[in-house]
Amino acid sequence: MRILLMLSLTLLCLSSAAHAVRTDGEFGSSGGGEFQRDQHNPWFVKNTAQVEYCVEIDPEGFSAPAEKIQPMIDRALQYWVKEFADRGALLGIAAQKFVRTGPPSGGCQGSEDLKLQFGYGALSAEQKNRFTIAGEQPQDYVGIAVRTDYDRKTLKGKGFVLIASDRGASPYNFGAGLSRNLWSHEGLLFRILQHELGHVFGIAHTESGFMAADFPEAMVRNYGSYRTIKETPFFAAPAFYLACASDRPLPYPDLSCMEITTSTNWQSFTATGIKNGGERFIIGQGESGKRTSVQQQYPVRVFLPKEQAVFETTPGELFWKGPARTSVKSVLTFTETGKDKSSMLLELSPDSLEIYQTKPTGIERWL
């Protein structure tokens, strides 16, 4: 049975509460019921071998040309393929072959699994009507992923991703003082594609990082920090972290950057300083973790309806968890060259690193 999940008039009638559009980049329903349980399911799992996608561009409303858009699509897709490669084998998330259909200049036929649409003018009348039914406007979204169909037997979805216009007659409501033509910066375009494709692969919003609900809005309002492409892991806390004075305060004024390298079990780290002239030196090492706390969250939860015929389940089993997202807190003894030892608290997540130092006056942020 195929269910038109998003903005379906049938569901509007069946729902016990008003249908709503959330301003966090996804359509949803506040009405409850089983159809909402699979709302965040990945659009494609292990029984789908190939995903056909098309690209539609509104040249009047989108500043990035076609020859720059496709490389960012490829890079965002490959980012998630790599992230899920060693973690999502059981579910088969992002394990598909992604094949673009249609002419190089863009265009969709309607049979594709996924439509990637750039600019308000790329939307069809039917798609625009979805926003109208919900009492919303596409211009209110930096980006949005909308699943239009879902087969609960095969667990396969169809839908579209819209990236807002940044110029022309119907641009995103950037507000006073914000620059247009933002998508001409590859870093911005990559990150918004990374975020919305994350939803296609079943990633729910996280509390922080590029999958946070407010990230797209924050990105366009602070676009100067995102102009260049920077890939950070999503699931695993990184073993290497680079912090530069241009991005955040450093504990030493004569440094341009610092490198933090952690061990595989997060029981130790090495701090390396980089001076303005490029000279590198070891600042110190944190060793012999006194206490290490590892926290895991599961941003992908696949609802398994009784109709599904993809996975073998036990009676009463309703959800399968996807890969874990790991963050770490570790208390270590830090030995700085030429100075006394001190106690350090290392807080590491896939999208951030913070280090606090214990001093006689209290605990202070070190990095």
Residue 204: pLDDT over 50: yes
Residue 158: pLDDT over 80: yes
Distances from the Cα of 275 to the Cαs of 59, 237, 254, 269, in angstroms? Answer: 44, 26, 6, 20
For 132-151, what is each residue's pLDDT tens digit? 877 777 778 889 999 989 99
Mean pLDDT to the nearest integer, 293-315: 88
Instruction: Enter the tokens of residue 84.
Output: 């899920």
Q: pLDDT category, 268, cuts 50, 70, 90? A: confident
Least confident of 4-8, 105-109, 188-192: 4-8
Higher pLDDT, 287 or 301: 301
CA distance 188 to 206: 19
For 7-48, what is each residue's pLDDT tens digit? 322 222 222 222 223 334 444 322 223 345 778 899 999 999
Closest by alpha carbon to 308, among 154, 205, 178? 154
Mean pLDDT to the nearest integer, 53-59: 95
Distant-in-sequence, close-in-space partners of 329: CB < 8 Å, separation ≥ 6 = 292, 293, 295, 345, 346, 347, 348
CA distance 29 to 35: 9
Closest by alpha carbon to 292, among 325, 319, 264, 252? 264
End-to-end CA distance of the chain: 54
Q: Mean of the per-residue pLDDT values for the chain?
A: 80
Residues of the chain with CATH 3.40.390: 50-225
Q: pLDDT category, 354, cuts 50, 70, 90? A: confident
Residue 24: predicted pLDDT: 42
pTM for the whole structure: 0.82
Percent of the chain with pLDDT over 70: 86
CA distance 46 to 286: 42
CA distance 224 to 87: 33
Mean pLDDT to the nearest integer, 160-176: 79
Topology of domain 50-225 in CATH is: Collagenase (Catalytic Domain) (3.40.390)
Residue 117: pLDDT over 80: yes
Residue 1: pLDDT over 70: no
Instruction: Quote the strand ranges of 263-318, DSSP E.
Output: 269-275, 280-297, 301-303
Residue 174: pLDDT over 70: no
Binning the chain into helix, strand and coil, the percentages to the nearest 5 are 20, 35, 45
Residue 289: pLDDT over 70: no
CA distance 104 to 101: 9
Mean pLDDT to the nearest integer, 186-208: 92
Residue 5: predicted pLDDT: 34
Higher pLDDT, 265 or 93: 93
Chain centroid offset of residue 252 CA: 33
